[in-house]
Amino acid sequence: MIPAKLSLFKPKRVRAKAIDREGQEQAALIKELELRLPKVAALIYHVPNGGHRHKSVAIKLKEQGVRAGVPDLVLPMARGGYFGLYMEFKAATPNDAAVSASQHAWIRQLNEQGYLAIVCRGHFDAMEQIRAYLRLPQTEVAA
């Protein structure tokens, strides 16, 4: 028998699983909205554009209209002259990520089209931004 330190096989390195802090914080935001602002929770939705997928699935989703850089959350409530709120959600510091060029481009284009598109850093920032948006007067729809 070969002693362990002379063995030809090295033990496999165990990697810690990556923690999706952004996903955890976004889920906490949705939970808080369900508890505190149920009318907002009933309308806000997540655009699942990110994440790792099998190549064939990614191709099919792209054919179906998935676009890189689209903000994570959409609140289709018109306020302050805006048609709705788009939020690019990033985890709070120190776990935040940079805003990509495609995300900046989408935010700019959405703002040009009459939406309020912003970047939020973490659950608390996002909640604060949603509350500020809701304080704006409701946008009147002309018939």
pLDDT value at position 52?
65
pLDDT at 5: 59
Question: Cβ of 133: how many Cβ atoms within 10 Å?
Answer: 19
pTM of the shown model: 0.82
Span 50-95, pLDDT tens digits: 666 677 777 787 777 778 899 999 999 999 999 999 999 999 888 8
List C-alpha distances in Å: 15 to 19, 22, 114.
12, 20, 45
- Tell me the sheet residues that pair with 6: none
Residue-range domains of the chain with CATH: 21-135 (3.40.1350.10)
Q: What is the pLDDT of residue 6?
A: 59
Closest C-alpha among 91, 75, 73 to residue 83? 75
Q: What angle do CA 140, 142, 143 make, to 5 degrees?
A: 135
How far is the C-alpha of 85 from the C-alpha of 88, rounded, in Å?
Answer: 10
- Note the pLDDT of residue 102: 93
